Structure 1
């Protein structure tokens, strides 16, 4: 088993992973050595650790991990991964996209996979059945769309996302905004799924991210949801590098 840290824009996760299985995971607004120590004491058989972050973090964390584990990886653009990275600008590729892609191929080996990561931003990435990461698309997340519509217009109010699917034709300004954003995003997702399914036979679609649960019951296409996809991917990257050291 390994310790996995995934630090995102809004919150961070710590998880104990055993290959494809997330044994335990917790979410924190801020991660320090105290949170790491809790998992280290609770799981005495941990072999290594990996940390991935899209934000800056304290060196205290990596120093503490290096003290605890012989194998400790800070994911960066030069870290070997168990995929062939065919992205033209790998130095600009987000670590969260790398982790999600590896996670998707770990649970769907030998298949064409579309990874949709719905969070602050929404990313759509393709991994081929040959284990090639091709890249994809980046779009605004649902909350950013609500905020930006209010910020860049004079009279449109800032609204929260509706829990229920709004009507396709809004009969009030509130409904029109909610429908335009939520239904627009659903059309976007279903549109990408439909178009990419024609290019990549038997395409498997995996949805993850903080907003995965919000969209899963609203999409028309058949998809697989795994909120722990990034954690599984990070653990697989750690295993891949540990094997290379043997």
Structure 2
């Protein structure tokens, strides 16, 4: 059995893979990741696969634990080319590993298709993969929480309480005005991404993933598919 670990900016998601089947995705706060936590998870684990966009000290916890318990450890990095997918970045290692893994997953799920991938998490990212496995680039926008908090932290008289339901109606209070604008900005970003992608390719699919995927999906009129485990499907290829 393998433990697949996606270390994000604030939380770590993980799942177990056995004979190609993924268990339910779970998550933990990054500050709770320690040897005791790992011990509770790894009784039958033979290897650990890690993808991380967070600070190095969390990876160090896994490295130390794996060495002490003779568990195979694989830390995935973004590359210029792998499994038939080619990165558009001149410096491929600077492409976020979560974005790279969604590209690898999409290429195996939808071969020979032009697909736009929307990952709505801490950041909202868009990536376009063509039907030849070429990454045609993408966009990065601050996620809903960052949009909301950045406005409040840079103004003195905008007082708002964050709501976590997607809504793009015009607000009739400052809180609603700020919250709904964050969702509207995110939705507009995605819709413009779909338009731009359609100028470059004949778009076959739009995939949504990430913590806010279902809330975004409820607002999006374009046909789409939600695949919450997209990053982990990419990790399965290693």
Q: TM-score, normalised by structure 1?
A: 0.83
- Structure 2 portions without partners, runs of 5+: none
Pair 1:222-2:223 in alignment: yes
Written as runs of structure 1 = structure 2, the 5 A alignment for 1:151-170 is 151-163=153-165, 165-167=167-169, 169-170=170-171
Tell me: CA distance 1:64–1:79, structure 2 relative to 1, closer, same or farther (3 Å).
farther
Alignment partners' CA distance in 2, 1:194 and 1:79: 27
How many residue pairs end up in the alignment? 232
- Structure possessing the higher relative contact order (Cα contacts under 8 Å, 6 or more residues apart): 1
* 1:243 corresponds to: none
* 2:146 corresponds to: 144
* 1:89 corresponds to: 91
| Deviations 1:189-208 (CA, angstroms, capped at 9, x unpaired) | 11211221232213311111
| Deviations 1:149-189 (CA, angstroms, capped at 9, x unpaired) | 1111231113313525242x334333332332212221221
* 2:213 corresponds to: 212
Tell me: CA distance 1:21–1:190, structure 2 relative to 1, closer, same or farther (3 Å).
farther
Written as runs of structure 1 = structure 2, the 5 A alignment for 1:92-241 is 92-163=94-165, 165-167=167-169, 169-236=170-237, 238=238
- Structure 1 portions without partners, runs of 5+: 239-246
* 1:51 corresponds to: 50
